[in-house]
Amino acid sequence: MDLSLLIEWIIKSLIIAFALLTGFAYLTYYERKVLARMQVRIGPNRAGPAGLLQPVADALKLIFKEELIPARAYKFIFMLAPILTVVPAMVIMAVVPWGDKVTLFGRVIDLGLADINVGVLYIMAITSISVYGIVLAGWSSNNKYAMLGGMRSSAQMISYELALGLAFVGPVLLAGSMSLGDIIQKQKAMGWFVIYQPLGAIIFWIATLAEVNRAPFDMPEAEQELTAGYHVEYSGMKFALFFMAEYIKMLAVCAFAATLFFGGHRGPFIDQVPWLGPVYLFLKVVILLFGMIWVRATLPRIRYDRLMAFGWKILIPAALLNVVITAVVLVLVGGK
Amino acid sequence: MAKISELPQRAVTGVIDFARGMFTTWKSMLEKPVTIQYPEQKRPVRPRFKGRHTLKRYENGLEKCIGCALCAAACPADAIFVEAAENTDERRFSPGERYASTYEINMLRCIFCGYCEDACPTEAIVLGDNYELSFLTRNSSIYTKETLLEAVYRGGKPTPQKVEPGMFNRSIPDMQNPSG
């Protein structure tokens, strides 16, 4: 392994981390603006032109907040939990390609950090880790609301991960590969997978909403019942880390949805101008995020037992059905 | 859980309801925001709004308040303190026999009921439309006569005025504007 390759990877990692952190900051702004417009309000417009500096102001505020640790909390795990939540959210984007090859300074560079051949599996594995952070946060806070939030979130995320995994199977079967790069290349030939996998895409969408604890599945942080759920005892930067994890995961799952079902970084004129790749991916992610925010603005929180019933009795059978149909059709038409 | 045979119909109605909800939020997104940008844009208050008190003057500049302290008596929150002093023709504040040498309203106690306005025989104290009553210290919550008294109208003279003897001889003035 030569040094320049190492440097290239480091630079690409830094770019991803930077994009995710800025993306997180401006996703909060985007969400607040869209929600405000849907509630016939204006939204943040005080800090900077059109409120564009609002995320900066929020970040500064959170940094200067006092860090409280409850007296009877398990301190080590209490400190560890936010890190355990945010790190998987940060590394999850590594396998998503954000463009084709480009030539820069006489070097052919893949836009994308690591298009590993088990990309989908990697995503499944990493998304599952973050539930530990939430459960540990709930448990170590020594607070009944936090505990309940953590319990709920473990149950919810485990149930919806099954449907999510089964929704991943459709594109994997169609592409015949678990690498996200191959899935995108296959969509270049066949067209977007959402055409072949409408049910799979819907199941994926619902399951990801539950997976990242977004409304209407924001059961772990149900304000009315659990005050704030698993992060009720967290303040300052540690709270910001949980917040960051949630929003970065939103970005990540939207990028997966775009990659698996909506052609990833591909769009018109992509072969002539490879630099359009990140732009297309960005646009698709923004549109999908709008969908998430729109759903949040529309639907009330689902009751906990209904959530579990929906996950186990409807979503998983539907996902299984989708897998069976996809597999049978592929065999009949002579796919790989 | 519903019967299996009911499931397709329930799914269809569920999807329709969901789509209607999404359409509702979409529609409201296209509406004009109802927000009023407060410090820059102020919404006018209602005609009978009861805001901060003002002590009124006549057009010639004399104060309407005659220091009778009926407002203080009427005040259910005991927020008003009035101390009266005698008018003289050399130093005349109000057309009556006496005037309020001290007039204080404790804005932390005031409940804006408007009883003082009702009790006033000369319509001297009026609850206006000012609702921006923030203050930073407890001391500044007590509004003194200087704060409450309105400015002299154009053509009027500030109090105390020096008037000719015999011009004002009633203890409670007429409700018409005295001496035009």
Please give the full DSSP string across B99-118, using - where no structure is assigned. EEEEEEEETTT-----HHHH
Which one has a higher pLDDT value, A189 or B104? B104
Separation of first and last alpha carbons in chain A: 34
Of B18, B21, B33, the CB nearest to A41: B33
Mean pLDDT confidence for A185-211: 83
User: Torsion over CA of A217, A220, A225 and A231, rounded to 10 degrees?
Assistant: -140
- CA atoms B43, B46, B52, B57: torsion sign: positive
Q: How far apart are CA A174 and CA A326, in angstroms?
A: 8
Check CB contact of A38 with chain B, cutoff 8 Å: yes
Answer yes or no: do B33 and A309 touch at CB < 8 A: no
pLDDT band at B177 (very low <50, low <70, confident <90, very high): low
Q: Report pLDDT for B105.
A: 92
Q: Report pLDDT for B104.
A: 92
Q: Report pLDDT for B175.
A: 67
Mean pLDDT confidence for A287-311: 86
Residue type for position A20? L
Q: Looking at CA atoms only, how far is residue A39 from chain B in angstroms?
A: 7
At what angle are helices A3-38 and A75-91 packed, to 10 degrees? 100
Which one has a higher pLDDT value, B57 or B171? B57
Of A41, A298, A309, the CB nearest to B25: A298
pLDDT band at A335 (very low <50, low <70, confident <90, very high): low
DSSP string, A49-115: GGGTTHHHHHHHHHHTS-----TTS-HHHHHHHHHHHHHHHHHGGGG---S-EEEETTEEEESSS--
Taking all residues of chain A, what is their mean pLDDT, rounded to a whole number?
A: 83
Six token digits for residue A258: 């775009």
pLDDT band at A303 (very low <50, low <70, confident <90, very high): confident
Question: Which residues sit opposite B55 in a β-bridge?
Answer: B125, B149
Answer yes or no: do A38 and B33 touch at CB < 8 A: no
Q: Report pLDDT for B79.
A: 92
Of A41, A299, A309, the CB nearest to B35: A41
The answer, yes or no, to whether ipTM is higher than 0.85 is no
Q: Is the pLDDT of residue A89 over 80?
A: yes
pLDDT tens by residue, A107-123: 777 777 777 888 888 88
Q: Report pLDDT for A10.
A: 87
Of A34, A42, A309, the CB nearest to B35: A42
pLDDT band at B129 (very low <50, low <70, confident <90, very high): confident
- CA atoms B72, B73, B75, B79: torsion sign: positive
- Percent of chain B exceeding pLDDT 70 equals 95
Which one has a higher pLDDT value, B28 or A265? B28
Q: Looking at CA atoms only, how far is residue B70 from chain A in angstroms?
A: 46
Chain A residues touching residue B32 (CB < 8 angstroms): 40
Q: Report pLDDT for A144.
A: 83
- Of chain B residues 27-86, which have a CB less than 8 A from chain A? 28-29, 31-35, 37
Mean pLDDT confidence for A229-250: 83
pLDDT tens by residue, A307-320: 888 888 888 888 89
Q: Is the pLDDT of residue B82 over 90?
A: yes
Indicate the length of chain B as a whole number.
180
Chain A residues touching residue B35 (CB < 8 angstroms): 41-42
Of B21, B31, B37, the CB nearest to A40: B31
Six token digits for residue A328: 């049978």
pLDDT band at B74 (very low <50, low <70, confident <90, very high): very high
Answer yes or no: do A40 and B22 touch at CB < 8 A: no
Residue type for position A11? I
Q: Map residue A233 onto helix, strand or coil.
A: coil
Answer yes or no: do A294 and B22 touch at CB < 8 A: yes
pLDDT tens by residue, B23-54: 988 988 888 888 888 888 888 888 889 999 99
Give the predicted TM-score (pTM) of the model.
0.77
